[in-house]
Amino acid sequence: MEIPDSQLVSESILENTDSFEALVERYTQPIYNFAYRLTGNTQTAEDITQETFVKVWKSLKKYDPKQSFRAWIFTIARNSTTDYLRKRKSIPFSNLSNNDDLPFEENISDTDLLPSEAAVKIEDAQHLEKLLEKLPQDYQTVLLLYYQEDMTFDEIGKVLKKPLNTVKSWHRRALLKLRELSK
């Protein structure tokens, strides 16, 4: 049975390094994926992931256990990504792929698909990435957190510090814009 985040956080505050390592292990890949999708660069995503965990470690005593830890850590990751992108204005906010790296969808193995089906799936993923690049950053963030990280609209609202209805509105507008762009 998986130990709840709240217990790992409590133990980490008491300087149980094993508990903090368990949190790092649990959230490294999701935070990295999130940062990569917003920056399109593996090294940058690694740096942001590392910076996120340093900030988490330093701020752990300030964490409010009434909040979702997942929403809290993604808020830190989003802020770290935004800070990085502000410092490096030459990196576009919506760049979701890098010529040197495979897009996220191409890294997903699906052994049940035939080669022709896999080719169609890759083409669809690449098409979706190009469409996502045309959306505002807030819309991209909502879609990534909702569909990639399986967050609820309420959790996304906490990450973005926006009301629930704003998040739902952005989600709906993003989907409508994607539909419009795909025509």
Q: CATH code at 25?
A: 1.10.1740.10
**Quick check: is 59 in a domain?**
yes
Same domain, 11 and 77: yes
Q: What is the mean pLDDT of residues 131-160?
A: 88
User: pLDDT grade, residue 101 (50/70/90)?
Assistant: low
**Which has the higher per-residue pLDDT, 45 or 102?**
45
**Quick check: is 103 in a domain?**
no
Same domain, 178 and 122: yes
Same domain, 64 and 129: no
User: pLDDT grade, residue 109 (50/70/90)?
Assistant: very low
Same domain, 154 and 86: no
> 176 pLDDT exceeds 50?
yes
Same domain, 82 and 126: no
Q: Which residues of 37-68 are buried (b: 16+ CB within 10 A; e: fewer)?
A: bbbbbeebbeebbebbbeebeeebeebeeeeb
Same domain, 79 and 117: no
Domain hosting 9: range is 1-93
Same domain, 83 and 136: no
Count how many domains the chain has: 2
- Tell me the pTM: 0.61
pLDDT digits (tens, 9 = 90+) for 151-162: 899 999 998 999
**Quick check: is 100 in a domain?**
no
Q: What is the mean pLDDT of residues 40-45?
A: 89
pLDDT digits (tens, 9 = 90+) for 45-93: 999 999 999 999 899 888 888 888 999 999 999 999 888 888 775 444 4
Same domain, 132 and 87: no
Q: How far apart are CA 52 and CA 154, in angstroms?
A: 22
**Which has the higher per-residue pLDDT, 133 or 169?**
169
